[in-house]
Amino acid sequence: MGVSGAVQWWEEWQLRILVLGSLAIQYILLVASYLRKYPIRSWFRPVIWLAYLGSDAIAIYALAALFNRQKKQDGHGVLEVLWAPILLIHLGGQDGITAYNIEDNELWPRHILTAVSQVTVAVYVFCKSWPGSDDRNLLVAAVLLFIPGILKCFEKPLALNRASINSLVSSGEPITPYKLFVDLASPSLDDRIRMLRSFSGLDDYHVYHKLRYWLSETFQLLYTKEKMFMVSQYNLIGLLARNRRNSRMMWVMEVLGCSDFLQQRWRMKSCSSSFSITKLVLKYVKGGWGHHIRDVSSYRKFNDNRGQFTLGHEGCYQELGWSLEGAFDESVLLWHLATDFCYYHTGVSHSHHRRLCTQDSCPHAWCEGSGHHKRAIQCREMSNYMMYLLFVNPEMLMAGTRRNLFTTAYDELKGIIIQGDKQTHKEAELTQMIIAAVDGGGSPPPDGTQQQQGGIIRDAWNIAKVLSNLPEEKMWDVIEGVWVEMLCFSAARCRGYLHAKGLATGVEYLTYVWLLLYYMGMETLAAKLQRADHHYHNGGVHGDDPSTSRVSGAATNQEGAAGPSRSSGTYKEYAEDQSSGYQGSDATGEEIV
């Protein structure tokens, strides 16, 4: 078959192929509309994206092919009269995947123009392809398909318009959870206190499932017409171990210039600890209201904690406070490495050494025989999640986060490993090699960077040495408390728009924390930017913020529910008596059960 024969074959079969292809893509989107709510393989998301873009393109191409066939008086199939309304239905898309990215919602005017033009083409094709014989059954079927086809074609741009940021901002409806995602300032202080009182009365289970419900509602509004509850993971030393196992492939990727792209998407398997971590965050916030927030000053100070609170209560601030005084992204990186060092370091205690797993099949240094096994793993999962934000999603960690800190630390680790003679691809053994090199005073890699002055790895080991000298239970108290505070600090300083955008690829766990902080009366970024930081002048004396009494009242009410204040209590003791649980109602008066 020559070129002319291939062209002739395509002219004859293209319409059938396009209609069947459009139908196949609709099936793919139908399945994808359910899968995209959950953590899936990163390679499958481009497939969903291509199907989303291709669905409109193929439907429009097929309608154009129908138009050309009728224009040439070439239409001879009676059933072609039904293809136009079917393609209109395909053009309307699947209800579960109206938008792929949040930016798609802003393109609703373009979709209206597309709908108008394609409906016009479909009507033209319908009129031109109508058979000479008066087949009333075919007419009824075509009309019945045209009505839902036209409605569905216009439903998509209307749904996109309803979910666009401008529509959400300009809407006069009361503040609802999804309004937070457009960075509106919090409602009045009275409303915030009312939400705090009702929400703080819920137990851990009901709080967690209330957050799931609100996030599902927001996802449906922004991306569907009508998740996803995992914690992503990334580990610096784990990346080094993996790249050593796949050194040839990584060399090829570096030659092709796509190693960074691959490393960001070739991450660790997500963990299912969102509920247990949410319990820690809720416990921390309830403890703050019950024992430490007394006025506006203490309220703002509590919201600004990113580990200082835990270090102070555990008596470690003098030795470790320096690790939190620098930039936030540096603190995250230092504590991530320190957590791994504590996790794998066999010199922590004799009991730890006895409980270390010696089997290759066990991925954890802390085995189930240890009394701190679950806490150690959970601390490491929080650490890995914050590292995931730093390297893969830095804009959500905090504005101005430097991704290159990750690569700087990675290069420093590679330099330390290269100096060693032992070849290993196991994460635990690599960690021991790094600890031995740094603790033994080995010379850092001579690359002219900050490693010559000690560097990131040495600073992280200094943190780990202080922690490893503590009793095991206290060590994990400190690590757990610091990571909970860092998680809250990061969530409260991320824009609502970024939380909404993240819903398109599966809910970021940080969005859970952010929503929980809001409903527990904590300060979000929008509220922080709106507040007045100056003192109020009363008769020549600088007084407190006028809202002090109301915040103090809220704290007093929380204390009344919690019992006597224990201001000298530790992080681990936070709000244990807050979880007795009672029924309350949310800000709208709806009963929460």
The string of DSSP letters for 435-491 reads HHHHHTTPPPP-SSSGGGGTHHHHHHHHHHHHHHTS-HHHHHHHHHHHHHHHHHHHH
Helix (H) or strand (E) holding 35: helix 3-35
Cα 414 to Cα 186, 244, 446, 447, 579: the distances in Å are 46, 10, 12, 11, 46
How many other C-beta atoms can be found within 10 angstroms of the C-beta atom of residue 570? 16
What pLDDT does 149 receive?
84
**Secondary structure (3-state) at 366:** strand
Strands 584-585 and 541-543: unpaired
**Secondary structure (3-state) at 269:** strand
Tokens coding 384: 């890995």
Cα 17 to Cα 2, 57, 165, 195, 368: the distances in Å are 20, 14, 38, 56, 57
What pLDDT does 589 receive?
35
Q: How many residues does the chain have?
A: 593
Cα 337 to Cα 43, 239, 282, 456: the distances in Å are 29, 13, 26, 9
Q: Is 347 exposed, middle or buried (0-12, 13-18, 19+ CB in 10 A)?
A: exposed
Residue of 311, 231, 320 whose CA lies nearest to 485: 311
Q: What is the pLDDT along the chain (593 residues), one digit of tens a residue?
A: 567 778 778 777 888 888 889 899 988 888 887 777 666 666 777 888 888 888 888 888 888 887 777 666 554 556 667 788 888 888 888 877 777 777 777 777 888 888 888 888 888 777 776 655 556 777 777 778 888 888 888 888 887 777 776 676 565 555 455 455 545 555 556 666 766 776 667 777 777 777 776 676 666 666 555 444 578 888 888 888 888 877 777 777 777 777 776 776 666 677 777 788 988 998 999 899 888 888 888 988 999 999 999 999 999 999 999 999 989 999 999 999 999 999 987 544 434 444 444 434 344 444 555 557 788 999 999 999 999 999 988 988 988 899 889 888 988 888 887 665 556 678 888 888 888 888 865 444 434 333 343 488 999 999 999 999 999 899 999 999 999 999 999 999 988 888 777 776 666 788 888 888 888 888 888 778 877 664 444 443 334 444 444 444 545 454 443 333 333 343 334 333 333 333 333 333 333 32
Helix (H) or strand (E) holding 320: helix 317-320
What pLDDT does 485 receive?
96
**Predicted model pTM:** 0.61
How many other C-beta atoms can be found within 10 angstroms of the C-beta atom of residue 582? 9
How many other C-beta atoms can be found within 10 angstroms of the C-beta atom of residue 321? 13
Cα 526 to Cα 67, 411, 418: the distances in Å are 52, 37, 47
What pLDDT does 584 receive?
36
As a whole number of angstroms, the distance between CA 551 and CA 548 comes to 5
Handedness of CA 378, 380, 385, 389 (dihedral sign): positive
Residue of 305, 300, 339 whose CA lies nearest to 324: 305
As a whole number of angstroms, the distance between CA 387 and CA 130 comes to 62
